[in-house]
Amino acid sequence: MPAVKFSVVIPTRERADTLRYALQTCLDQDFDDYEIIVADNDSSPPTRALVEEAASSRVRYFRTDRTLAMSSNWDFAVSHARGEYVILIGDDDGLLPHSLRELDKLTCDHHPKAVRWEPAYYTWPSFALAGQGDYLRIPLSRGLREVKSRDAIRDVIGFRSLYTMLPMLYNAAVHHSVLTELRAKTGRVFPHPVPDVYSGFAVAAVTESFLSTDTPMSLAGQSGASNGVAVLFNRGRSRIDEEFHALNAKEGLLPDPRIPNLPVFPHVPVADAFVFAKRKLFPDSDLDLDRRQFVSGCLANLRVGTDADWRDALGMIRTSLADDRETLAWFDCELATTPFRPPLPPRLKPERLGFDGEALHLDAAAFGVRDVAGAAALCERVLSYRRDGVRYVTGDAGPSLALAAKVQELNDLCTDRQSVIDGLTRSCSDRLAKIHELDGRLRQSLRGGPLKRLGRWFKQRMSVGH
């Protein structure tokens, strides 16, 4: 029998400044049956001090005896989880205030092996890409549906869906039995150098289906110390990137030779995680990577700064195709001489903010938000899911219907407010009519009777005085 319903796991390394606020969002829940695991990857003393400062019996702190690769620290972290369902967030991420209560409701109603959700997205002021910080994206849809795992994997490796459509531990509550099965099959839960993307394929591989909602339950935050930004957008220019690759190499967590180790998002991490997961977990499946499509996507999204780097990248792609003569010949004929194209600056924050039909895009700083806890509070102000609960919309048309329902809610709110305004207007009109009536009576009184005689006397007195 699990000790608690949920284990919220936070692996961390030298980020006490962001961990403080991530931990705050986890403690700010209107639900009691959960624990928080802080897995400290050989950090300096401020991390332990921060946890002790929180002074919560709900928080359990564990520290490694040496610096581990990211995937190994994730394994260390989830090994301490005692919950029926396990959720993992980064130390610059956060939970939304309604999340555990709503996830409890969904798991009790549907008993899924995993519940996947669409996270909100927040870039901290310290975000490492110029002009892209202080951005908050809030999904407004509330669709809820069962997804066949095979269909989800097929769409992701065909690059028709983003990998976040899979039940990664970063955006899913995963039943402990799934993690136990993965550990039995490969010796560990996260045997791949990119644990978040891999976990999506792995969890989907051992579950026939999973529950998926468009309702955000967490905030995916990216700060100045983000691993993903360092590895994919600042390759070779960051201490974080250097440490990430060095620790993976030391532990033998290496990319597949059929996938060129290039800074191409999302193609390279998705393809590498998929081929590894397939080899380890579902080798007999007919699901496979279309390598021509993958290579074309790599060249379309490759981020290198010089013509020499571009030529090196073309050489790496060609080497990765050495096991497939037909595809290699196609590459030599069609793509081997593709000219260098300088990459555009990465843009995660849209030029135009506001509502785009699916989500609300905000300048977080304009609302006084400076950290992920403030971003979570702003999400609640917009969504009101903690206050009012979530009204899910089920079925294949869930996302569009949920969005329509949200628009209807806003319309109802405006209608309610208009009713109040109309009532006040009628009240004011009634009062104005009463004032006009009294004014008329007063004027009528002044035209005769005692008031008229008083007026004549006053005029006489004034004339005598002059």
The phi and psi torsions of 43 (rounded to 5 degrees) equal: -80, 170
Return the sign of the alpha-carbon dihedral for residues 333, 337, 339, 344: positive
pLDDT of residue 151: 98
Give the Cβ contact number of residue 377 at 10 Å: 20
Check pLDDT > 80 for residue 82: yes
Can you tell me the distance from the alpha carbon of 213 to that of 99, in angstroms, rounded to the nearest whole number?
A: 12
How sure is the predictor about 346, in pLDDT bands with cuts at 50, 70 and 90?
confident
Helix (H, G, I), strand (E, B) or coil at 288: coil
* Segments of 402-454 assigned E as strands: none
Helix (H, G, I), strand (E, B) or coil at 189: coil
**Rounded to two decimals, what is the model's pTM?**
0.85
Name, in order, each residue with C-beta under 8 angstroms of 412's C-beta and a sequence gap of 6 or more: none
Bridge partners (DSSP) listed for residue 62? 39
Check pLDDT > 60 for residue 15: yes
Q: Find the mean pLDDT for residues 16-30.
A: 97
pLDDT of residue 231: 82
pLDDT digits over 127-143, tens only? 988 899 999 999 999 99
- For residue 441 the two structure tokens come to 């009576």
pLDDT of residue 229: 84
How sure is the predictor about 45, in pLDDT bands with cuts at 50, 70 and 90?
very high
With 0-12 CB in 10 A as exposed, 13-18 as middle and 19+ as buried, what is 30? exposed
How sure is the predictor about 423, in pLDDT bands with cuts at 50, 70 and 90?
low
- For residue 431 the two structure tokens come to 């009062």
The hierarchical CATH code for the domain 4-223+358-396 is 3.90.550.10
pLDDT digits over 149-185, tens only? 999 999 999 999 999 999 999 999 999 999 999 999 9
Check pLDDT > 70 for residue 290: yes
Of the given ranges (78-82, 276-280, 301-305), which has the lowest mean pLDDT?
Answer: 301-305
Give the Cβ contact number of residue 145 at 10 Å: 17
Of the given ranges (118-122, 166-170, 461-465), which has the lowest mean pLDDT?
Answer: 461-465
As a whole number, the mean pLDDT across the chain is 90
pLDDT digits over 211-241, tens only? 999 999 999 999 998 888 878 777 878 899 9
Check pLDDT > 90 for residue 363: yes
- For residue 257 the two structure tokens come to 């030779």
pLDDT of residue 66: 97
Check pLDDT > 90 for residue 457: no
Residue the block writes with tokens 């791949």: 192
Q: What is the largest CA-CA distance in the chain?
A: 123
Can you tell me the distance from the alpha carbon of 403 to that of 26, in angstroms, rounded to the nearest whole number?
A: 27
For the chain, the C-alpha Rg in angstroms (whole number) is: 30
pLDDT digits over 242-288, tens only? 999 999 999 999 999 999 999 999 999 999 999 999 999 999 999 99
How sure is the predictor about 398, in pLDDT bands with cuts at 50, 70 and 90?
very low
pLDDT of residue 426: 63
How sure is the predictor about 63, in pLDDT bands with cuts at 50, 70 and 90?
very high
Percent of the chain with pLDDT over 70: 85
Check pLDDT > 70 for residue 203: yes
